[in-house]
Amino acid sequence: MVISQYKLIGKEVNKNVIKEFIVLLKEIYRVMKEVKGMKFTSSSLLMIYDAFKESMQRAIVKLIDFENAEEGEKEDSNALEGIDNLCKTLEELYSQ
């Protein structure tokens, strides 16, 4: 798909916003990798994009829904794999 096919409220999604999402997701990945002993079962990523904000940062990513998070023995490889896959998908969109 071409990046110009992604529209929100009549505006094309700016490639810079995709880059912001990638940077923020990689930071969450880094932090989750450091937090050994937590399993983030059924947690979610909330990704917010403000099409009308004129400042540099228009994207926000938050890790939410910790109700089923639990202690584990090592890093949560499933959550890390999911974030990595999402980053790769966004990087493909960014490169188009």
Q: How far apart are CA 19 and CA 75, in angstroms?
A: 26
Count Cβ atoms within 10 A of the Cβ of residue 59 and give its class: 0-12 exposed, 13-18 middle, 19 or more buried: buried
Q: How far is CA 17 from CA 3, 12, 49, 65, in A?
A: 12, 11, 8, 24
Alpha helices (H) in the chain, listed in sequence order: 15-34, 77-95
Q: How far is CA 50 from CA 9, 18, 80, in A?
A: 11, 12, 26
| Annotation: CATH topology of 3-95 | D-amino Acid Aminotransferase; Chain A, domain 1 (3.30.470)
CB–CB of 1/96 below 8 Å? yes
Segment 10-69, tens digit of pLDDT: 455 678 888 999 999 999 999 998 888 888 888 999 999 887 777 667 889 999 998 888
Segment 24-41, tens digit of pLDDT: 999 999 999 888 888 888
- Domain ranges (residues) in the chain: 3-95
User: What is the pTM for the complete model shown?
Assistant: 0.80
